Structure 1
Amino acid sequence: MTQPRAALVSLDATPWYHLVNRCVRRAFLCGTDAVSGQCYEHRRGWIADRLHQLAGVFAIDVAAYAVMSNHYHLVVRVDAQRASEWSDDEVLRRWTTLFTGPLLVQRYRAGAELLPVERRAVAELAATYRERLMDVSWFMRVLNESIARQANAEDGVKGRFWEGRFKSQALLDEAAILSAMAYVDLNPIRAGIAETPETSEHTSVAERIAALGLEATHRVSAEGSEAAPPAATRVPAWCESLPLQPLMPFDATARLPSAIPFSLEDYLELIETTGRCQRPGKRGAIAERVPKLLKRLNMEPEAFIAASTTLLKRFGSAVGTPASLTACCAARQARHLRGMRAAREVFGWRMA
């Protein structure tokens, strides 16, 4: 039975989430449609840019992403503490970069004299917007709506562009975060559209490698394609309206409050090793030298490979160690959460 979003996305349980959204009828979002010959590759850049923009507006950081031909994956962290520290003026400034807002808010931001009752109304609106700016559902709503409007305008059609509501998995602990990030970053390799992490375009791992200068990556340009859309529709108007926020940083020392709790070097080593195992036609096996992160988190290597290919199938609305899933069951007052067997296999290595 479908669960309410409030039960699936609860900051009391975890601020980390794996999110997935698909196009309606799994139609082409990006890439080239083999039937019509139409090229949609440029839309992958729309999503990547919009993600970076919204991360600079919402109190939500993007740790990993992968934009595929008919769906995309995200790993995000909600920073409620950051949102609580914003002043009302800062909240209104951020919200009005995305929406015009009611006339009362416009007058307030323009410096107009307001009555006491009007000021109280503005404060109430700011409180509402603050909640929305740390709400995963609102983040996905703004992201999906802007992409859908632009894609429909480009295709000259109306109606639904995305399937029903996005799928979400709560990431309950560090082992779950690592598994979800690897699952997302290795999506193109698993699908057979990239050979290595650095060539998997429109993924966070390729972006991070490019930022390090280890490998030159590029976005596929539609300008040279005969099926490329007109220039007027290729770049959405909102692409230049907001600055791009960088991806969430790594910090194994835990000194940064809003950082991925691993070393970037160790993470890239794990992704490179696992990526070699996931190439089509090759048996998944990690060599004798087990990556540091798997040792640190007590994760069985071969089971980790399996999890990095079937995370959505083997786990349900939450991912974590057996203890984390048990605690989540109790918090949700549920009898069972799908994935307990997988959790024991992947996260129970060397555990008593």
Structure 2
Amino acid sequence: MPRSRKSQIALEATPYYHCTSRCVRRAFLCGRDEHSGNDYEHRRGWIEQRIMALASVYALDICAYAVMSNHYHIVVHINAEKAKAWSDTEVIQRWHTLYAGNLLSHEYLAGKDLCDAQLKVVSELVAEWRERLGSISWFMRALNEDIARQANAEDGCTGRFWEARFKSQALLDETALATCLAYVDLNPIRTQMAATPETSDFTSTKERMAVAQETLESSEPHQPKNLFPFVGYPRQDMPAGLPFRLQDYLELVDWTGRQLRDDKRGSIYSEIPPILERLNIDVEHWVYNTRHFESQFKSLVGTAISIKSKFQQFGYQRVPGLGLAELLT
């Protein structure tokens, strides 16, 4: 039985989630429709731009994304502390950038005198909007509805553009996070839409590599301001960010991309990327998972230890997917 989106999110277990949306049959994000002759490549840019615009409003950080021919992937980090730190005024201002609000919220921003009953209503609205601005469901709704309206207007039609609500996977530990990031970033390589990560259009890895290449060799590589940064391996007083070194991750993506392109079964790996060594991930399992991550794992992704310790926080009565979890290491 399908589980509600709310039951698939548990911040006490993990702030990281992988989400996917697919178009209905015969709908296009890119490519040429053989029947009509229309080219829809520009729609991939719509999604990339919308993702970044929404990320500047919501309390969600973009870790990775890839816009494909008829679907897209996105890995997000829910920044609950950021949402809590917003003032009531900032919450209303952010909400008004996307939605109309109501008379009281506009009067509050205008500095008009409101009675206690009106202020109570505003306070209740702020609490609701603050929660929504930290919600993956509301983020994906704002993303998909906007793209669907644009596509339907361009096609001169009505009805569904996306085949169903988005799918979500909770990434319970560093192993799951690293595997999912690489899986998303390497989608164009795996489907032969691009030859190398740095030429993979509409992906986070292309953006990260482009910015890193602009940095002088003697300094720490720069990172895109609109993406959740890599901040190095876990340590005391660690800043907010992905728990890996950027250089190590980019090398891992490049190395994995070569394995996916070569597709040489039984080949001997002379050098193992540092991230795989640190996380003690089996190389064969890693290459397999970066090919089959989405189909291999369901709603909870992590090592067996992580799933056993966190499955109840998602409302499961029994431990799910332990056999598949063994493939993560």
Q: TM-score, normalised by structure 2?
A: 0.92
Code of the aligned partner of 1:120: K
State the identity %: 51
Deviations 1:306-334 (A, max 9, x none): 00111111111011011111123333233
The number of residues matched between the two structures is 318
Code of the aligned partner of 1:247: L
Alignment of 1:9-48 (within 5 A): 9-25=9-25, 27-48=27-48
Q: Counterpart in 2 of 1:66?
A: 66
Change in CA separation of 1:207 and 1:110 when aligned onto 2, cut-off 3 Å: same
Code of the aligned partner of 1:334: Q
- Displacement after TM superposition at 1:346 (Å): 2.5
Structure 2 residue matching 1:118: 3-state secondary structure: helix
- Displacement after TM superposition at 1:280 (Å): 6.6
- Displacement after TM superposition at 1:256 (Å): 4.8
**Structure 1: which 5+ residue stretches go unaligned?**
216-243, 348-352
Q: Counterpart in 1 of 2:193?
A: 193
CA contact (8 A) 2:311 2:319 kept: yes
Report the aligned-residue RMSD.
1.8
Q: Counterpart in 2 of 1:305?
A: 287
- Displacement after TM superposition at 1:283 (Å): 4.0
Code of the aligned partner of 1:259: G
Q: Counterpart in 1 of 2:242?
A: 260
Q: Counterpart in 1 of 2:318?
A: 335
Structure 2 residue matching 1:75: 3-state secondary structure: strand
- Displacement after TM superposition at 1:53 (Å): 1.1
Q: Counterpart in 1 of 2:229?
A: 249
CA contact (8 A) 2:302 2:328 kept: no
Q: Counterpart in 2 of 1:138?
A: 138
In the alignment, the residues of structure 1 paired with residue 140 and residue 91 of structure 2 have an alpha-carbon distance, to the nearest angstrom, of 18
CA contact (8 A) 2:67 2:73 kept: yes
Please tell me whether residue 270 in structure 1 is matched to residue 247 in structure 2: no
CA contact (8 A) 1:325 1:337 kept: yes
- Displacement after TM superposition at 1:171 (Å): 0.2
- Displacement after TM superposition at 1:36 (Å): 2.2
Please tell me whether residue 176 in structure 1 is matched to residue 176 in structure 2: yes
CA contact (8 A) 1:277 1:286 kept: no
CA contact (8 A) 2:175 2:328 kept: no
Deviations 1:139-190 (A, max 9, x none): 0000111111111111111111112110000000011100000000000000
Q: Counterpart in 2 of 1:210?
A: 210
In the alignment, the residues of structure 1 paired with residue 27 and residue 275 of structure 2 have an alpha-carbon distance, to the nearest angstrom, of 37
Aligned residue among 294, 298, 317 for 1:316: 298
- Displacement after TM superposition at 1:66 (Å): 0.2
Structure 2 residue matching 1:170: 3-state secondary structure: strand
Code of the aligned partner of 1:81: E
In the alignment, the residues of structure 1 paired with residue 267 and residue 93 of structure 2 have an alpha-carbon distance, to the nearest angstrom, of 51
In the alignment, the residues of structure 2 paired with residue 286 and residue 48 of structure 1 have an alpha-carbon distance, to the nearest angstrom, of 37
In the alignment, the residues of structure 2 paired with residue 154 and residue 27 of structure 1 have an alpha-carbon distance, to the nearest angstrom, of 12
Aligned residue among 298, 307, 312 for 1:325: 307
